[in-house]
Amino acid sequence: MASLGIHNIRKIYPNGVEVLKGINLDIADGEFLILVGGSGCGKSTLLNMIAGLEPVTEGEITIGGKRVNDLPPKDRDIAMVFQSYALYPSMSVRQNIAFGLSLRKVPKAEQEATIARVAKLLQIEPLLDRKPAQLSGGQRQRVAMGRALAREPQIFLFDEPLSNLDAKLRVEMRSEIKLLHKRLGITTVYVTHDQIEAMTLGDKIAVMKDGVVQQFGTPDEIYNRPVNTFVAGFMGSPPMNLIPATLAINDGKLCAEVTVGPTGSKRVHLPLFGFDTSTLDTLTSTGSSVLLGLRPEHLTDTGRSNGMTANLTVPVDLAEPTGADTLIFITLGGARCIARLHPTAVAGRDEVELVVDTSAAVVFDRHTQEAIAFARV
Amino acid sequence: MNRAGRFLLYAALVSTAFYALAPMWVMLSTSLKTLDEIREGSLIAAPHAPTIEPWLKAWGTACSGVRCEGLKPFFLNSLLMTIPAVLISTLVGALNGYALTHWRFRGSDFLFTALLVGCFIPFQVVLLPMARLLGAVGISDSVFGLIFVHVVYGLAFTTLFFRNYYIGVPGELVKAARVDGAGFFTIFQRILLPISGPIFMVCVIWQFTQIWNDFLFGVVFAGSDSQPVTVALNNLVRTSTGVKEYNVDMAAAIIAALPTLLVYIVAGKYFVRGLTAGAVKG
Ligand SMILES: Nc1ncnc2c1ncn2[C@@H]1O[C@H](COP(=O)(O)OP(=O)(O)OP(=O)(O)O)[C@@H](O)[C@H]1O
Ligand SMILES: [Mg+2]
């Protein structure tokens, strides 16, 4: 077990493409780090560099406080699950799991015990004597997990280990990984595209885009205090609404002026509660146009109002029942927005009255797309 | 397809097969005839009273140049030269292909291009430099020299074969093995070799055919007692003392061609499979 430090890491592939542009991440011993970001943003590359499989162009990687830039993979004491499973095609499942153990000279009896333990955990006991070609995608993925879990390394590296499982197995495996991490307390770096995996598993989340970390923080920070519109749009499903608005003072209170409905003929002033007005003073004086970030659950029906809310009547463009909630599509500030309502609040109506929890809003600069003010502290 | 079309198709196939096999038949039937029957009968007729005398003579007593011991010693020379040369060039080619695809280094692409050029260098060009080199190393006129020449010349091809095969093997496979603690040779031996069966067959057949059938290197670099069977066959057919024994010549030619035929019959299906097979996924 060890802490992991990534300091000013850059990666330029031999073909001249700069894939990572100065990454800084520090996680403590036993922490669970989630890497999320669009396809091709460099997540696998970063994982490979931590593993020692790709040389570091610039910067420093430390494991347990010790610089490991020049250490080969086998001496870094890591275990990794690859995106493409990478099972050895000529070996049976049993041999796949045992390969790393036998190279590390683990005694035969201990190997057997480990294989039995891992196979039970991952429900692959009946598959032990099969070759990878005779397994389904999900089974291969579990074997790949098993190969990593057979060892107790300093650091686990997982590259989208659950992406090919069906929904049920995925939920099962997710809690299995969480339990395992709780029990073993091994430092873990985990790449995923799945919001729920990111929110439930991570102690820390790093959101990446084009080789740059956009935000590095706890799941709560990432979800409630996104530093820019990319992070706001990336985490959460459906994503945070970004409503074009103008800041103004109305009745002595700080408000966001927003047009309502597809035609945009109606204008309302939403009072912004809980904002530190001093940060916004300079902006309001110029009538500055901003993006008001509001999550769908903060645009909801009257049943859930509290003291810090504003009311708003909007025409419904489209309603999408999802079971527990109904999502409605509305137009605010000319942009398509989504509100999350109780199913009974919508049924057959053209217009609904929404309660807007502006105390959960984030104000973004419309040009730089950076967050300029948060309501909650 | 209608009946007429099908008939035409089969007619074309049968006549092509006949055209290809006719020389084989003439050689075989002639090699089983006595000289008298050859003189009197027609070329394509089956032998009246088949005899294996010409075969025995070609194998054991026919004169090739000044030696009258048949093809036997030269056939053994060829085996002694071909088997090690095929195995060495195939194995080294596999290692090269593995290094060029999964252990890229600065200049590896250039090296591969240079090797490719090696495939197009005609035999004649390397004759003189190679003769100097063999002389300098002290293995000219020996079977070792011949093996060396064939290994070097074959490497370009075997490397190309294996490189193109291994490039289809996912890089994460090698990475996973490195994380598991395996080194360069362990990965080659435990991960890549076990999935190289088809391309191995292609390489072995290709190299065996090339080396066994080679005449030029044999005639230039072999000593009088390390000559391969191809050179001996030429000498045997051209030795002109007394009457021309067509039956012995034919038998000798078939003997010289037999190993390549055998290799194709035994391993031919792997050849096609290996040429068309992609590498293993997952
Ligand atoms: N060996 C390489 N040589 C050159 N460029 C590469 C190499 N490997 C990856 N890249 C490029 O680096 C970028 C990042 O790749 P990477 O595999 O790290 O993305 P990723 O974030 O893991 O994406 P995904 O979510 O699709 O797995 C991509 O644009 C890719 O094309
Ligand atoms: Mg990836």
Phi, psi of A320, deg, nearest 5: -130, 100
Which of the four pLDDT bands, split at 50, 70 and 90, describes residue A281? low
Tell me the mean pLDDT in the region B105-110.
Answer: 87
Tell me the mean pLDDT in the region B3-13.
Answer: 93
> Which is higher by pLDDT, B35 or A336?
A336
> Which is higher by pLDDT, A147 or B1?
A147
CATH number of the domain located at residue range(s) B72-279 in this protein: 1.10.3720.10
- Give the best-scoring range by mean pLDDT among A345-354, B68-77, B183-192: B183-192
pLDDT of residue B46: 84
Specify burial of residue A304 (Cβ count, 10 A radius: 0-12, 13-18, 19+). middle
List chain B residues with CB under 8 Å of A14: 104
Question: Is it the case that residue B198 has pLDDT exceeding 80?
Answer: yes
Q: What is the pLDDT of residues A31-76, one digit of tens each?
A: 999 999 999 999 999 999 999 999 999 999 999 999 999 999 999 9
| Domains observed in chain A | 4-234 (3.40.50.300), 241-374 (2.40.50.140)
Alpha carbon of B192: minimum distance to chain A alpha carbons (Å): 9
The mean pLDDT of chain B is: 88
By the 8 A CB rule, do A164 and A141 touch? yes
**Torsion sign (Cα): A277, A279, A285, A287:** negative
Question: Is it the case that residue A264 has pLDDT exceeding 90?
Answer: no
Task: Please name the amino acid found at residue B17.
Answer: A
The chain A residue lying nearest B104, using CA atoms, is A14
Out of A51, A100, A132, the one facing B282 most closely (by C-beta) is A132
Best residue among A10, A15, A21, A41 to mutate for probing ligand 1's pocket (most ligand atoms within 8 Å of CB) is A41
Out of B175, B181, B190, the one facing A86 most closely (by C-beta) is B175
Q: What is the pLDDT of residues A358-376, one digit of tens each?
A: 888 999 998 889 998 887 6
The mean pLDDT of chain A is: 90
Percent of chain B, pLDDT > 70?
95
Q: What is the pLDDT of residues A294-345, one digit of tens each?
A: 999 999 886 556 677 788 889 999 999 888 889 999 999 999 999 999 888 7
3-state secondary structure of A344: helix
Question: Is it the case that residue A220 has pLDDT exceeding 80?
Answer: yes
> Which is higher by pLDDT, A138 or A278?
A138
pLDDT of residue A90: 92
Tell me the mean pLDDT in the region B250-268.
Answer: 89
Which of the four pLDDT bands, split at 50, 70 and 90, describes residue B281? very low
Q: What is the spatial distance between Cα B83 and Cα A122, in angstroms, rounded to a whole number?
A: 48
| B107–A contact, CB cutoff 8 A | no
Specify burial of residue A289 (Cβ count, 10 A radius: 0-12, 13-18, 19+). middle
pLDDT of residue A305: 60
Q: What is the pLDDT of residues B201-237, one digit of tens each?
A: 889 999 999 999 999 999 898 888 889 999 999 988 8
DSSP code of residue A290: E
The chain A residue lying nearest B108, using CA atoms, is A14
Question: Is it the case that residue A146 has pLDDT exceeding 50?
Answer: yes
- Whole-number Cα distances in Å, B44 to B16, B47, B88, B201: 17, 9, 43, 36
The chain B residue lying nearest A97, using CA atoms, is B180
**Torsion sign (Cα): A164, A166, A167, A171:** negative
Task: Please name the amino acid found at residue B171.
Answer: G
- Whole-number Cα distances in Å, A16 to A7, A22, A57: 21, 16, 11
Query: Which of A68, A141, A128 is CA-nearest to residue A98?
Result: A128
- In chain B, where the domains are located: 3-51, 72-279
Q: What is the spatial distance between Cα A89 and Cα A96, in angstroms, rounded to a whole number?
A: 9
Question: Is it the case that residue A158 has pLDDT exceeding 90?
Answer: yes
Phi, psi of B49, deg, nearest 5: -125, 90
ipTM comes to: 0.84
Question: Is it the case that residue B276 has pLDDT exceeding 80?
Answer: no
| B187–A contact, CB cutoff 8 A | no
Percent of chain B, pLDDT > 90?
51
Token pair recorded at residue A318: 């489209």
Question: Is it the case that residue A125 has pLDDT exceeding 70?
Answer: yes
- Count of residues for chain A? 377
Q: What is the pLDDT of residues A89-106, one digit of tens each?
A: 999 999 999 999 999 999
**Torsion sign (Cα): B25, B28, B33, B35:** positive
Task: Give the least confident one: A116-120, A217-221, A253-257, B177-181.
Answer: A253-257
Question: Is it the case that residue B278 has pLDDT exceeding 50?
Answer: no
Question: Is it the case that residue B282 has pLDDT exceeding 50?
Answer: no
By the 8 A CB rule, do A341 and A305 touch? no
What angle (nearest 5°) sits at the alpha carbon of residue A310, between those of residues A305 and A312? Answer: 100
